[in-house]
Structures are given as C-alpha cells and as structure tokens.
A and B are shown apart, each in its own frame.
Chain A
C-alpha cells in the first residue's frame, strides 16, 4: 500500500503537479506537526498541585459548595415552581443571595466581599443551577460581569461608590444587545453625545437580563459612530436617572424567573466621570469580560444538566416495568452512561477553563469550548431525562420539564454556539 502510494507520488512529481503540503511524502519524514502552540510546561516550583485531579477543591471551596447546596435546597428549591410560573424572582431569594455573600464572592473584603477565588464563583454558580438556573444566572452575572467590570476598569472613585452597593443590595445589569445587534454586538446604534462634562445617551437596548431588579446599568453606547466600533464606550447609569425606561419583561420559554427587558434611553444625561474604562475602548472591555463570563455560563449549564440528571436517576431506579426497574434495562443503562460521560467531560472542560483563567494563563479557546460543550450537553441531558422519566417527565408536576426549557438559552446567550465555534476555530488557526 505504501509502495503504491510512493509510486503515485513520484509520478505526480514527474507531472510537476502542485501538491498541497499535507499530501507530501509523509512516509519520508517523521510526523512533525507544525504547530505554533507552545507546550505548556507545568511550572513545578509554583504550581503546587500539578498532578491533582480537576475536582480537587480547597477546604474553603468545599465548605462554600456545601453551604450553597444547603442554601439552595432550603431557601430556593421550594420557590422554584412559583418563580417560574409567575416569571418573577422572589425578593427573599435575592436577599438571601446577598446575605450569604454569594453576590460578592471575588470582591475584596474592603468592599464587603468575600475575597475568594474565581473557581469558587464557578462552584457556587454550578450548585445554584442544580436547583434553579435562573437564580444561578443572577449570581453569575453579578459576580463575573458587574463586580468584575468595576474591579477591572473602575476608577478608585467609582469603586468606592459602587462596590459596597453591589456587594450589599444592588444588582448590576449589562446593556449591550439591541434589536438590530446581537451576535454583531459592535454594530450597536445607541448613541452618546458629548456635551461638555456630560454625555447624552439615546437609543434602546433589548434582551437585557436582570433589568427588572437592577439598581445600576452598564450601557454600551457609541460616542463617535465615524470610528465604528472604536467609538463604543461603557457608561455607568443609575436606575433612577431621568430618561431611562425599563420596558415590559419578555414572556420567555425558560429561565423565566430571571427578567429580560428592553431598556430605552431618552436623552439620558450621564456625567463623564461615569465612564467605565476609556472612551472608545468599550468593545475591548466587553470582550475581555465576556470571555470569563463564558466560563460562568458553562458552569450554569453544567449545574442545570447535573441537577436534571440527579432528579431523574433515582426515579429510573424506582420505576418498575416488566418486573424490573427501568434502570436495569441495558438499553437505558447505555443511554444513561453516555449522558453521564458527556456531563463529566463538560465538567472537566469548565473546571479547567476556570483554573486557567485563575492562574492568568490564556483561556479564550478553552472558555469557548467549555461554554459551547456545556450548553450542548445540557440540551442533550435534559432531553434524554424527559424521555427516561416518561409521562411524568412531560408534566409540570415534576421539575424535569423546567430544566428542558431552561437549557435552550445556553446555546444562545453570551455568544451563540456558532460564535463559540468561530472563536475556537480562530484560536486554532493561530496555533498552526
């Protein structure tokens, strides 16, 4: 076979055909993959637990996970169905999240936060999502977007003003998407005109999460459309600013307890001191943060899938048909094992991306992979779980159908699955 190939190649050479490099005589040279990606040598001196499994947690992380599990089971779980039906988050849940310090996990203690690791955030988001992905979203956005925006790009004055508030009782809401710009985020039309010390913002945003309860908004507006996306600037706007209108919340398929509203700006006057970061650098700030946000969403989808799975398997072990539990049928076992394996893979992708981000290593590709895969796995898991539960899975009496409805948003928001795949491909292109 090889000889024939060699003969064919030689004849091609005689014909002086232009062979692409990958069809060259691989038999001749050892298989050297030309990749520009450097092998990440573990720095044994500083990395400490290099050989530990990804599911290794510090003592604090374990305690936090246990606490959140307990909190979620006792304070959130009884209200999940009600919040979903009424499409409204309960005040007691929001308060509980603030009181337990779940809304300021990474924030420094000087601002009223906990000063814990980014990985703790991921664990908390995952645990909350096992009970209610909508509540988990609130926690995730506050920690990975709101808090991070202030701590990364805020001036000392802004941090002093806003961080204690967001740690205590104020929810932040990130306004980027518009009716005409979703994935194409930077073609946004909201305009911010400079008027001396102020900017006047006009425009309307759509699909804004948490707008119903938010106390402070991060508004991405263009200060100079002639510069294209390099005019986009991030403004901090308080809720009660004149001209800011929060529209009627959307009636959604899933994560209904988390409000999603259109927000309009009619001559909203914002002082220049409320610019977050630099003028014209808004797009850069947004992209930077949305990368870590992706890991948070991956954790949410992971928790969603796991929670759904945890509800289903005990049922399959109890339900008896044809004289044995449906779990005992080999067909079922194989399906269940496949789903469990994919769940584990999604978990490891997410945990690893979180650890990469924590240690300051490049993580954009891994974060995209984690978000994309976790969302897909969540869709598959919830779909299968409904099938395994049979008729009861289809009714609202059981929590399974809610997970099925909730998971769909995972492939859509914070970067659609297609965008994630493009991002991964872009990273790969740079490696080879």
Chain B
C-alpha cells in the first residue's frame, strides 16, 4: 500500500467565470486570449490524491494532461497544488483530443508509469462529456468507480461511495482501479505561495503523442460541425384557467 502510485488526469479548460463566446465561423468557441484554468473536477481529483499521500496511503502523485504546450501552465498549477511530478502528452496545434484520444493517451501512460490508482474528474466543464474515465477503465480492463463522493483505500482495494440517480451506492473495487471525482468528494485547497514557488523545481516531462503509440494519433471520431448561441427566450403567454391552458398546449402540439 505504501508504494501506491496515483495518476491524476487534469484538463486545461476555459475558466468557469469567463463569458464564453462562439468563435467567428461557428466552428467552436473563442479560445484565443481567453482565460483558461484547471478543470474544477480534476482539481477535486487531485486534492483527493494529495490527501491520500498526506495520510500515507499513497507514495507518489503524478499529474498528467493531454494537449498542446499550453497545458504546461495547468500542470504547473497541479504541481503547486501538491502533485509530485507532471507529465504532458503533447499533441499538435489544432488537434482537439476528445475523450477517446485522451483515454488512449492516459492508457499508454498507465503502461509506462504503472500506477495503482487513476483519479480523474467526472467530466470537463467545456464539453461535459463524462466519458474519459469510463473509456479508460474499459481500455485498461480495470474496475471503475465513477461519481465518487467518498474514497477509502483498503489493502489491495478501494471502497468508493458513488452518487447515482437512486442515491448513494458503495462499491468495493480491487486495485488497480479508475475513479472519477464528483463535486462533493472534497473541497480543494488553495495553492499557497510557497508551494507555487516550489512547483518550479518539480519535474515536468513532455512526451510526444507519437511516442506513446498509434491509437492516440488516429483522427478523432468526433467533429464539431456547428456551434451557436441558444435561441433567445421567447415571451410566454398568460392564461386564465386550466381548460384554456390545456387547449393552448394542445394547439401547440405539446400534449
């Protein structure tokens, strides 16, 4: 147990406070010059990994990201938040790795780094896919505990409490396993100023996507065709009583 290595996936996303605007041409959103930051769910996953290490349940926390060189900033933030080292799987400019590509890259990293536990955020706030963790577990043929709101390590296993539609579900998974963090798992710390300075000295490795294997380089299976603002809210209508309401609903084809 003491030798447990934890791999945490972190994604660089547009900051949650930024007002997102559709890019000219409608092919995506504006990202140039827009403030980016660490995905909040990834931050929660990272916090959990760091707490495991502080409790002595884990030995090393490695933060990993899949993206362009710009992701180094995100990894530095992860280092400032407590990760021991960072790895960036670098893809070409313009390549937009989707969940499948990210999962393939992380699977290759797992082969290289041999972690006993992988922690991811449940979803990214830019695409809200909620797929990478699940895909990764399938690729590795590892058990998965998604929407984790509580994580407890045991000898050779992990007990996960999941937030599901019906309530809370507790699973016991044999390690190695993939977990994805939900909102209530923990409250992430702030990076203290001394830790920010220390992050400079921690190792950050950049690995080309091609080095890791062909699966990541294959063209993405998803392509964004069009991005547009949702239509403006139309005015509603007041009705006097329920029969009129039903009549209106029927005439609009809603009932």
Question: Interface of A with B (CB < 8 Å)?
Answer: 59-60, 62-64, 66-67, 70-71, 99-102, 105, 109, 113-116, 120
Contacts and interface: CB of A to CB of B under 8 A. Distances in A.
B164 to A, nearest CB: 29
A67 to B, nearest CB: 5
A134 B48 CA distance: 34
A67 B193 contact: yes
Interface stretch (B194-202, B234-242, B244-252): B194-202
Contact of A109 (B76, B194, B199): B194
Given A60-B199, A66-B37, 10 more contacts: A63-B199, A66-B77, A67-B80, A67-B191, A67-B196, A100-B190, A100-B192, A109-B194, A113-B194, A114-B196
B205 interface: no
B77 to A, nearest CB: 6
A178 to B, nearest CB: 35
B73 interface: yes
Contacts of B194: 101, 109, 113-115
A72 to B, nearest CB: 10
Contacts of A100: 190, 192-193
Nearest to A71: B190
Q: By DSSP majority rule, is chain B's interface helix, strand, loop, or mixed? A: helix
B161 to A, nearest CB: 26
A63 B192 contact: no
Contacts of A70: 190
- Give the top 4 A-B pairs by smallest Cβ distance, nearest first: A101-B193, A114-B193, A101-B192, A63-B196
A114 B196 CA distance: 9
A168 B183 CA distance: 32
Most chain B CB inside 10 Å of its own CB: which residue of A59, A63, A71: A63
A71 B200 CA distance: 21
Given A59-B76, A63-B76, A63-B80, A99 B192 contact: yes
Interface in B149-207: 190-194, 196-197, 199-200
Given A114-B197, A116-B197, A63 B77 contact: yes
Contacts of A120: 193
Contact of A60 (B37, B190, B192, B197): B197
Interface string B96-125: 000000000000000000000000000000
A380 B191 CA distance: 35
Interface of B: 37, 73, 76-77, 80, 190-194, 196-197, 199-200
Nearest to B72: A59
Contact of B197 (A71, A102, A115): A115
A140 to B, nearest CB: 15
Contacts of A113: 194
B73 A116 contact: no
Most chain B CB inside 10 Å of its own CB: which residue of A62, A100, A120: A100
16 contacts: A59-B73, A59-B76, A60-B197, A60-B200, A63-B199, A67-B80, A67-B193, A67-B196, A100-B190, A101-B192, A105-B193, A109-B197, A113-B194, A114-B196, A116-B197, A120-B193
A71 B191 CA distance: 10
A114 B80 CA distance: 13
Contacts of A114: 193-194, 196-197
B190 A64 contact: no
Contacts of A59: 73, 76, 200
B38 to A, nearest CB: 10
Contacts of A101: 192-194
Nearest to B187: A74
Nearest to B188: A70
Contacts of A64: 193, 196
Contacts of B196: 60, 63-64, 67, 114
Contacts of B200: 59-60
Contacts of B192: 67, 99-101
Nearest to B35: A66
A129 to B, nearest CB: 17
A63 B77 CA distance: 7
A7 B165 CA distance: 97
B101 to A, nearest CB: 27
Most chain A CB inside 10 Å of its own CB: which residue of B73, B192, B196: B196
Nearest to A100: B192
Nearest to B193: A101
A379 B80 CA distance: 37
A102 B192 CA distance: 8
A115 B193 CA distance: 9
A96 B244 CA distance: 59
A36 to B, nearest CB: 41
Given A63-B80, A63-B199, A102 B73 contact: no
A63 B190 CA distance: 11
Most chain A CB inside 10 Å of its own CB: which residue of B76, B192, B194: B194
A59 B193 CA distance: 12
B245 to A, nearest CB: 31
A62 B196 CA distance: 10
Contacts of A116: 193, 197
Contacts of B199: 60, 63
A375 B146 CA distance: 53
Contact of B191 (A63, A105, A109, A115): A63
B76 to A, nearest CB: 6
Contacts of A115: 194, 197
A100 B81 CA distance: 12
B73 A67 contact: no
B223 to A, nearest CB: 33
A60 B196 CA distance: 6
